[in-house]
Amino acid sequence: MFALRLRIEWMVRTYGVERVGLQTMTVRDNVTDRKEFERRFKSIATNIFPEIYLDWLRVFERQQRGAWHAHVVVATKMDIRTGTDVVALNQLLKDKRDRKISKGVYYAGIKRLASSNLKAIWNEFRRLCGLGEFKERRKGRYYKFDACHLLPISSTAQALAVYVSKYISKGFEYRRPEDKGMRLVGSTRRVSRVCNERFSWLAAAAGFGGPSWGFWPAC
């Protein structure tokens, strides 16, 4: 969590809060094999992310039903916050998830509440994944993700770090033996250099109750 907070704060300072968002990526079929999910994510992250994003940080989470999905903090090339009613848009998505509103109300709402830049990125992922009006693309090559919800930051970088880090513990909660050795957190090289998850043993300074040992992050 400490490493995530420093990385996300760096992304906000470097690119501005108006260019940082959280994207959730799920798969159309019930992919429980972590190597297959890693392969799909690597493919879209390698071939598509550089065209849309400047940097990213992702957390993999295994759901209770066994399927994998990813939560990705991204730095976009365009301002996705200005012109977007972030609070209302988050509430709209929550209402849809809780089935309090119809699909018609939901789609009318997102068109009204999202900025043109944000909608452009949504539309690009729909095209790449063969969703909605782009279903014919499924006959050819496409990225097999069912949804790629991207939203601007709704509060602070610290709050976003707390929100994202909870998915690490959830990933461990439904962990399987075959998941051993899987890295739940990954990022672009620039982001990873800010702070990593490795910790080192350091002796405490003299004069503070004698010699002792503790962890210190490699930042």
To 5 degrees, how large is the angle CA 34–CA 48–CA 156?
Answer: 80
Q: Cβ atoms within 10 A of the Cβ of 5, count?
A: 18
Q: Where in the chain are the domains?
A: 2-80+115-217
- Of 8-17, 50-59, 191-200, the one with minimum mean pLDDT is 191-200
187-198 pLDDT, tens digit each: 999 999 987 666
143-172 pLDDT, tens digit each: 888 877 899 987 777 778 777 777 666 656
What's the mean pLDDT when you consider all of the chain? 83
Which H or E run contains 139?
Answer: none
Instruction: Report how far apart the first and last C-alpha atoms of the chain are (Å, whole number).
Output: 13
Cα separation, 175 vs 130, in Å, equals 30
Report the length, in residues, of the chain: 219
Please state the rounded mean pLDDT for residues 60-70: 84
Q: What is the pLDDT of residue 212?
A: 46
78-135 pLDDT, tens digit each: 999 999 999 999 899 889 889 899 988 988 998 899 999 999 999 999 898 888 888 8
Tokens of 179: 């998941």
